[in-house]
């Protein structure tokens, strides 16, 4: 009797599978299946149009300028300056270009260990090459001032009474002698600019007036 009973209701386990289209690739003999889906909605009319590949790819030209070294003449003028920082004495020699701007620096310490002497030599070589290749002195001054390491302390120079290091003294001395007042203000050495102006005013000859003329 059980064989005569027909199944009238669908079982809850029977699932409807989506219709699948099967196509064969003749070259690879592989079957690829793709379920039927609804077509995508068309793009909006106000959607931006993608830029063509020609506009995306741009040619970049790299221009390399070779630095030219400005060498000092064989015979040059120079300034030799003696300094002392906390009983540490030394000499600073500044070689000048034809226009009077600094082009090379030499630093020699009277009594110092090999480390400080080697450091001064390295700084002098770096500074000299930079000046000859066109690095502005103002850039070096801004980096040298306020550097702190021994020897440091008081100096006999009335324009630079106290410094934090040899680099600090070197930067301030070069700034005082070779930078303009505007450059001194930019690097934060307004005090040196005021000192320079006071000395210039003091050294200017007095102008004769009508009262000073002999009668």
User: Is 80 in a helix, a strand, or coil?
Assistant: strand
Q: How far apart are CA 213 and CA 206, in angstroms?
A: 13
Give the chain's domain count.
1
Portion of the chain with pLDDT greater than 70, in percent? 60
pLDDT band at 182 (very low <50, low <70, confident <90, very high): confident
* Beta-bridge partners for 24: 31
Contact criterion met (CB below 8 Å) for 154 and 162: yes
* pLDDT at residue 63 is higher than 70: no
Query: Each residue of 77-90: pLDDT tens digit?
Result: 999 999 999 888 99
Specify the pTM.
0.60
* pLDDT at residue 141 is higher than 60: yes
106, 111, 115, 120 alpha-carbon torsion, rounded to 10°? -20
Asked whether residue 21 is domain-assigned, the answer is: no
Which range of residues forms the domain containing residue 100? 78-201
- First CA to last CA distance, the chain: 160
User: Is 149 in a helix, a strand, or coil?
Assistant: coil
Asked whether residue 41 is domain-assigned, the answer is: no
Asked whether residue 58 is domain-assigned, the answer is: no
Asked whether residue 135 is domain-assigned, the answer is: yes
């Amino acid at each position: 009797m059980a064989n005569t009973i027909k199944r009238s209701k669908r079982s809850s386990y029977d699932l409807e599978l989506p219709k699948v289209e099967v196509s064969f690739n003749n070259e690879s003999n592989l079957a690829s299946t793709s379920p039927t889906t609804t077509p995508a909605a068309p793009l909006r009319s106000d959607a931006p149009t993608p830029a063509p590949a020609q506009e995306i790819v741009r040619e970049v030209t790299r221009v390399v300028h070779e630095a030219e070294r400005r060498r000092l003449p064989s015979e040059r003028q120079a300034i030799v300056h003696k300094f002392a920082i906390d009983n540490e004495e030394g000499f600073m020699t500044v070689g000048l270009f034809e226009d009077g701007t600094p082009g090379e620096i030499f630093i020699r310490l009277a009594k110092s260990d090999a480390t400080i002497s080697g450091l001064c030599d390295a700084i002098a070589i770096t500074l000299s090459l930079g000046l000859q290749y066109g690095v502005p002195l103002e850039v070096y001054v801004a980096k040298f001032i306020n550097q702190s390491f021994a020897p440091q302390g008081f100096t006999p120079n009335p324009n630079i009474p106290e410094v934090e290091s040899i680099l600090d003294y070197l930067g301030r001395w070069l700034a005082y002698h070779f930078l303009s007042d505007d450059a001194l203000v930019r690097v934060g050495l307004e005090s040196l600019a005021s000192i320079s102006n006071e000395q210039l005013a003091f050294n200017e000859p007095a102008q004769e007036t009508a009262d000073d003329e002999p009668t």
